[in-house]
Amino acid sequence: MSIGIVRHTIVGALLFVTSTHVPGLVSAQTTTLPLSAANVHWGYFSKTLDPVLTVASGTEVVVEMATHHACDDWDKMIMGDAAMEEIYTWTGDIVGEEFRGASGGGDGVHILTGPIFVEDAEPGDILKVEILDLQPRPNQDGKTFGSNAAAWWGFQARVNKADNTPFYAGSFSDTPTQNDEIVTIYEIVEENGQSFAVPSYQFEWPIMTDPNGVERDYIAYPGTCVPHDTHSITIPSSDVTDMGWTKAGAITYYDNVFKAKIPINYHVGCMGLAPASHDFVDSIPPMPTGGNLDNKRIGVGTTMYYPVEVAGGLISMGDAHAAQGDSELDGTGIETSITGKFKLTVIKQEDFTASQAVLDFPLGETATDWIIHVLMQQQKIHLHKPASF
């Protein structure tokens, strides 16, 4: 996927290429979609899902979203949050959200809140989504954390390490006893009125066995819970081990990490509408109807335009990031749970402008830019477009 950024002020040829409530977010005119196991689906978009919320066009909706990396540290990102615990509980007898991925077997990873049915949205229309606010979801101690995984799908896995040996990823790289994947846990801190993500600690991905007896020796199946050891001043709870998670040996930690300060830019990594093409679609590849765009510009002040393919649109959202560059270069952004406020408005076909009539991809708009998402491989494209849409 390529992303083209064009300024409103440039005129040129038009080209298209195929519940923790946060104060201030809720008003009398706002509908809230709280986080719960019943209100999320894990790793897929589907036109077959019953909507968990139905709203009129023009409604402002507060949506709570859970990160799919929260169980990298249960104590910091889940414990004491009833909704997060409900989603992530996985024992030998209970799985909070058992169907994960388009096949149900873990082939998609994102926890998506929804779908939301928007009245009067019909195939051929456009759903306009204005991002009004995004706020972090604090834990029971009032702190917010996030996770970054330097994983087997990142850039570092495509090149040799400094010692010229390959990047190993457990059974994925046919080296079940060797794994170079590293997870960094960040804390979100405030300093002089600005928010930053600061590394708290790192750990090497361990060999684990889930409560059903399946060994997991690299970052793969969504919702894997790490049974942490005591390290530095941290004494973990027994919650994860009590569910039945075990590991082959002690985890290697790096507690004295460089305290870099990464400016916070909350954005929604995976938001889109159910496609008409299949009953279930993996949440990882982006789609003409949106999905996993992982674009740091899809934050507060951005308006997204999604082509509607099924009645009601069926919009779902999740995979929030505290920060990210122009890609998830090492594997992920700084994955965190957030609460967002969105205005959902249907644009009917009969009201389309000439540009809207040919929209067949997820388009973003800010005060100064159009954000063009081009679904293609190994190519970049630079586009100019008129100032109106």
Quick: pLDDT tens for 234-257. Answer: 999 999 999 999 999 999 999 999
| Mean pLDDT, rounded, of the chain | 91
Model confidence at 13, in pLDDT bands (50, 70, 90)?
A: very low
- Judge whether residue 45 has pLDDT over 50: yes
Token code pair at residue 63: 């949506």
**Domains parsed from the chain with CATH numbers:** 23-43+50-138+265-348 (2.60.120.580), 144-262 (no CATH)
* 102-111, 267-276, 336-345, 371-380, range with the lowest pLDDT: 371-380
Q: In what order do the strands lie in the sheet with 246-247?
A: 215-216, 208-209, 246-247
Residue range 225-230: mean pLDDT, rounded: 98
pLDDT in tens, 136-162: 999 999 999 999 999 999 999 999 999
What's the pTM? 0.90
- Judge whether residue 179 has pLDDT over 50: yes
- Judge whether residue 381 has pLDDT over 60: no
CB 330 within 8 A of CB 131: no
* 8-22, 57-71, 234-248, range with the lowest pLDDT: 8-22
**CA gap 49, 5 in Å, rounded:** 34
**CA gap 1, 46 in Å, rounded:** 22
The string over 15-30, giving b where at least 16 C-beta atoms fall within 10 Å of a residue's C-beta and e elsewhere, is eeeeebebeebeeeee
